[in-house]
Amino acid sequence: MKLDFFDSFKDPYMKTEEGRGVFLSGIALGMLARAQVDSGGSIDSSPMFKQLNFGKMQRRDIRRHLSRMPELVRVCKVTTTYAGMIEAICAEAGKLLLCAEEKELGTDGNFAFSMAFLNAPDYFWGKIFKKNEKYYMVLGARDVEGVGMILLYESTDLKNWTYKNRITTPQKFGYMWECPDLFEMDGQLYIICCPQGVETQGIDYENVHQVTAMKLDYDFDTDEYEITDIKLFDRGFDFYAPQTFEDESGRRILIGWMGIPDADYTNPTEEAGWQHALTIPRELSVRDGKLIQEPIEELKQLRSEDKAVCTFCYGQTIIMQNAIYEAVVDFKRCREMVMTLREGITLSYKDNILTLNLGVYGSGRSTRKVRLEKLEHLQIFADTSSLEIFVNHGEEVFTTRIYNHHGRLLINGECSGIMTVYPLKSFEIEGGRHEE
């Protein structure tokens, strides 16, 4: 969720950390309340609605509800597609409230909370794009015939929105397009969205739901448009609902949900009361007309100094015992290759097909593949229960959860090159406090 909608608010209270924290709290609790009722049900019948003392809320009331959010999401069985987003909004709200001046909500705070609660979907779903001094919002949608699409709305003031058009493909491409993102790079508009109901085509679209990137040529005067170059944006098992933003240096950064709704595979961590994660941040760029994903430069700060550099050639086997690492492989030549990423988990290349095989360590996940012209480069991030594999400098990506802690990093086959392995350090949060 982008937070730049705050810039459209003229109320001085909404310029403060308290105002923004209260407003985000309303969005998070409003979306939770909607998840507690059946589709089409009234929000005032939700347990959350009944627990809120509208107009008389105090600061401690918000803190109490936010502190219970992880448990509420689990107990209420919020669909996994949106649980992570609700918790992320909750976390940002809590951070703002901790930084704000200690005082009661009063009329301003209660008004902000109620408006956010009642209008939560307006701030939760929309993605706003600005062009030619006008604002455009894209919403994921489907029509009555089950055709997936994006609805485009237009505004000049970020307050009053007018329906402008529906954007879809000439032939049906799924029954619902979720979590759309619209942005411009190098003069070209791109849509990233999650079509549901796309049939498997060979080794493409093997997941129950997809994430695709597509080019959009759109005339904002005539509303004529064309969608081209639809590309599966991730080849792994666990990637969904990605969103992008532009950072202060002008980079387009993407973060995705490392999970997927309605999958027939599982996560053993459910027994401990949690599941899913977010991907590492990725920088998007355009290379030879293709949208590319690469790890952001700042991730190099996680590299340990005791790196290992290995040269391998035909018939030679390289073995390391790392479990949590970043591996960078530059191939001089590669005809066939088998790389063990962790014990029982392999990445192989043969007949121009790159295959990720999780064996018995995928909790129902098996294999995923992609066809390449040639294999030149791999950059692999292996965490405790995840793999993110960037192929040929981000032309293709595999994102998946894995469940085997036994480190084993091996490469052999009819290939030669250099592999550099960096053991990875954990993130350190500035200003954080460690409690025993």
Tokens of 66: 């936010």
Contacts of 410 (CB under 8 A, 6+ apart): 317, 318, 319, 320, 339, 340
pLDDT band at 221 (very low <50, low <70, confident <90, very high): very high
Domain 304-423 sits in CATH at 2.60.120.560
pLDDT value at residue 80: 44
Residue with the bigger pLDDT between 89 and 367: it is 367
Amino acid 423 reads: P
Give the Cα separation of 268 and 272 in Å (integer): 8
Over residues 143-152, the pLDDT tens digits come to: 989 999 999 9
Residue with the bigger pLDDT between 405 and 228: it is 228
pLDDT exceeds 50 at position 81: no
pLDDT value at residue 416: 95
Least confident of 52-56, 113-117, 402-406, 430-434: 430-434
Contacts of 1 (CB under 8 A, 6+ apart): 85, 88, 89, 123, 124, 243
pLDDT exceeds 70 at position 192: yes
Is the separation of the CB atoms in 195 and 174 below 8 Å? Answer: yes
Over residues 338-369, the pLDDT tens digits come to: 999 999 999 999 999 999 999 999 999 999 99
When mean pLDDT is compared over 18-32, 212-226, 310-324, the highest value belongs to: 212-226
pLDDT band at 5 (very low <50, low <70, confident <90, very high): low
pLDDT value at residue 435: 46
Contacts of 40 (CB under 8 A, 6+ apart): none
Give the Cα separation of 284 and 399 in Å (integer): 16
According to CATH, the topology of domain 127-261+278-295 is: Tachylectin-2; Chain A (2.115.10)
Give the Cα separation of 168 and 163 in Å (integer): 15
CA proximity to 282, closest of 291, 294, 290: 294
pLDDT value at residue 34: 80
Give the Cα separation of 70 and 72 in Å (integer): 6
Mean pLDDT of the chain: 89
pLDDT value at residue 76: 65
Mean pLDDT to the nearest integer, 234-263: 93
pLDDT exceeds 80 at position 6: no
pLDDT exceeds 80 at position 1: no
- For 429, the 3-state DSSP assignment is coil
Our measurement of the distance from residue 54's CA atom to the centroid of its chain's CA atoms, rounded to an integer in Å, reads 33
CA proximity to 338, closest of 324, 317, 363: 317
Task: Identify the helix (H) or strand (E) that includes residue 383.
Answer: strand 377-383
pLDDT band at 161 (very low <50, low <70, confident <90, very high): confident
Tokens of 371: 């066809």
User: Phi and psi of 314, rounded to 5°?
Assistant: -50, 130
Least confident of 289-298, 316-325, 351-360: 316-325
Answering whether pTM is above 0.75, one says no
pLDDT value at residue 92: 85
pLDDT exceeds 70 at position 50: yes
Mean pLDDT to the nearest integer, 53-72: 87
pLDDT band at 36 (very low <50, low <70, confident <90, very high): confident
Mean pLDDT to the nearest integer, 115-124: 76
Tokens of 144: 């009555």
User: Phi and psi of 150, rounded to 5°?
Assistant: -120, 135
Residue with the bigger pLDDT between 35 and 146: it is 146
Tokens of 226: 């064309």
pLDDT value at residue 359: 96
Percent of the chain with pLDDT over 90: 60
User: In this structure, how many other beta carbons lie within 10 angstroms of the beta carbon of residue 57?
Assistant: 22
In the chain, domain spans: 4-122, 127-261+278-295, 304-423
